[in-house]
Chain A
Amino acid sequence: MLGNLHPLPKLALCLIWIGASVLVFDLRFQLVTLTLAFGLLWGLQRVALWKLLALMVPFALFGFGFLTTSVLFNAESGFALQMANEQALAAPDISPGLVLFTRALACGMVSALFALTTDPGGLVRALMVHLRLPAPVGFALMQAMHLVPDLAREMQVLRMARAMRLGRPMRRLPGPGEVMALTIPLLAFAIRRATRAALAMEARGLRPNAPRTQREILPFQTRDGLAFGMGVGVLAAVLWLV
Chain B
Amino acid sequence: MSDVLACDGVAVRYPFAAADAVGPLTLRLARGDRVLLLGPSGCGKSTLLQALTGLIPAALPGARRGQLHLFGQPVESRSPADWAAQVAFLFQDADQTLAGFTLADELAFALENRALPPDDIAARVAQAMAQAGLHPDWMGRRIATLSGGQKQMVALTAVLAQGADLVVADEPTASLAPGAAKMMADLLLAPGKTVLIVDHRLGPVLDRIDRVVVLGRDGQTLAEGPPDKVFASHGADLAAQGIWTPLATRLRLALAAQGVSVPAVVQVADLVAHLPPHADLAPLLLPAACQSGTETLRLNRVDCAPPFGPVVLRNISLGLRAGEVLGILGPNGAGKSTLAACLAGLIPPRAGQRTGPPGAMAFQNADSHFAAETTRAECLAMGVPAADCAALLAGWGLDHVATQHPFSLSAGQKRRLALALLTATDRWPVLVLDEPTAGLDHAGTTRIAGHIRRLAGMGKTLAVITHDADFALSVCDRVIVLAEGRVQADGPARTVLRDTALLQRCGLAPPEAAPLLHWMDRTPC
Interface of A with B (CB < 8 Å)? 120-121, 124-125, 135, 139, 142-143, 145-146, 148-150, 152, 154, 156-158, 160-165, 167, 169-170, 172, 185, 193, 196-207, 210-217
Contact = CB atoms under 8 A, between A and B. Distances in A.
Contacts of A120: 101
A213 B84 contact: no
Contacts, number: 150
Given A212-B113, A212-B115, A213-B116, A121 B81 contact: no
Nearest to B168: A203
Interface in B346-373: 346-348, 358, 360-361, 363, 365, 368-369, 371
A202 B81 CA distance: 5
Contacts of A167: 358, 427
Interface in B86-118: 88-89, 91, 93, 96-102, 104-105, 108-118
A239 B287 CA distance: 79
A163 B307 CA distance: 14
Contacts of B30: none
Contact of B125 (A200, A206, A215): A215
Interface string B149-177: 00000000010001000000000000000
Nearest to B53: A203
A160 B122 contact: no
B155 to A, nearest CB: 9
5 contacts: A199-B55, A201-B109, A203-B81, A207-B79, A207-B81
Given A142-B101, A157-B368, A170-B347, 14 more contacts: A120-B101, A146-B101, A160-B341, A160-B346, A167-B427, A169-B358, A196-B97, A199-B97, A200-B97, A200-B98, A202-B55, A202-B59, A205-B114, A216-B122
Interface of B: 53, 55, 59-60, 79-82, 84-85, 88-89, 91, 93, 96-102, 104-105, 108-118, 121-122, 125, 142-144, 158, 162, 306-308, 341, 345-348, 358, 360-361, 363, 365, 368-369, 371, 381-382, 422, 427-428
Contacts of A197: 96-99
B360 A203 contact: no
A44 B146 CA distance: 29
Contacts of B122: 215-216
B64 to A, nearest CB: 16
A213 B115 contact: yes
Nearest to A197: B97
Nearest to B308: A152
A204 B89 CA distance: 7
Contacts of A217: 118
Nearest to B93: A196
Contact of A165 (B81, B88, B363, B381): B381
Contacts of B105: 121, 125, 142, 215
Contacts of A169: 345, 348, 358
Contact of B143 (A146, A206, A212, A215): A146
A200 B118 CA distance: 22
A196 B90 CA distance: 12
What 4 A-B pairs come out closest when comparing CB atoms? A121-B101, A205-B84, A200-B97, A205-B113
Given A121-B101, A156-B306, A170-B346, A206 B360 contact: no
A204 B108 contact: no
Contacts of B93: 196
